[in-house]
Amino acid sequence: MKQQLTKYLASHGPWSRRQAESLIRAGRVTVDDQPAHLGEIIINPHTIIKVDGRPIANQEPAPVYFMVNKPVGYTCTNKQLPHEKNIFELVNYPGRLFVAGRLDKNSHGLVLLTNDGILAAKLTHPRFTHPKIYEVTVRPGITSANFIKLQTFLSQGHKLYDGQSLARAKISRQLAGDRLEIILEQGQKRQIRLLLKLAGYEVIDLKRTGLGPLKLGRLPIGAVRSLNTAEIDRLKQLIQDKQ
């Protein structure tokens, strides 16, 4: 065991790293009954760490995996922003969670929250591509003639940000005159909205329905459920396949 104290507190309690730093500065943390200091490294697995005199469990928390149907208006960040609703408020879990597959504030649908940092990092890293499925409503509507043009435009790839590869998208099917099912295997910021804007369309609704092997199904807006064993196994297999 070799871990920075702030990271240890963040992974074993309800605090972010910044909050852990504040606790240490305030003298509320002790290591083997001695006042803790910033930058301290925990090496001994039997070290007793306390916050406000109460010991922190030194075993790693059991891994948890939550599917959330994120509502519009919620952010997907660990930062506590004033006057902003946060997706973590929807989950009754006392420890730190990571977002695997963020959605912007104006989008909704499937988001994965987990304390499995390794899995979350691999699911979000550009190297580990995996399909993400969206239902997208646009304005104006799409005629049959324009559908082929748009399909070609999105598959060709376009530059959205300096220093990043061309952004692409695949239309898997047209659900209605103004609604498409789009698949991404990249994760550039606001990728679908910006690509469609370049093509002359405005996104008026964006919903993620699939993330790798996970499907949103009929999970109500704002609801949370734990992944079942089969879903967790498929996620882990997806990561192994991309090694």
Which is the catalytic residue, given 32, 52, 104, 241? Answer: 104
3-state class (DSSP) for residue 34: strand
- Who's near 50: CB < 8 A, 6+ residues apart? 29, 30, 33, 56
Contact 241, 133 (CB under 8 A): no
Which ranges of the chain would DSSP assign to H, the alpha helix?
5-12, 17-25, 117-124, 144-156, 191-198, 229-241
Sign of the Cα pseudo-torsion (21, 27, 29, 35, in order): positive
What does the DSSP assignment read for 52-102? TTEEPP-SPPPP-EEEEEEPTTEE--SS--TT-EEGGGGS--SS--EEES-
What is the CA angle 140-189-235, rounded to 5? Answer: 105
Strand pairing report for 85-86 and 74-75: parallel
The conformational region for residue 5 under phi > 0 = left, psi -120 to 50 = alpha, else beta, is alpha
104 is catalytic: yes
So which residues are the catalytic ones? Answer: 104
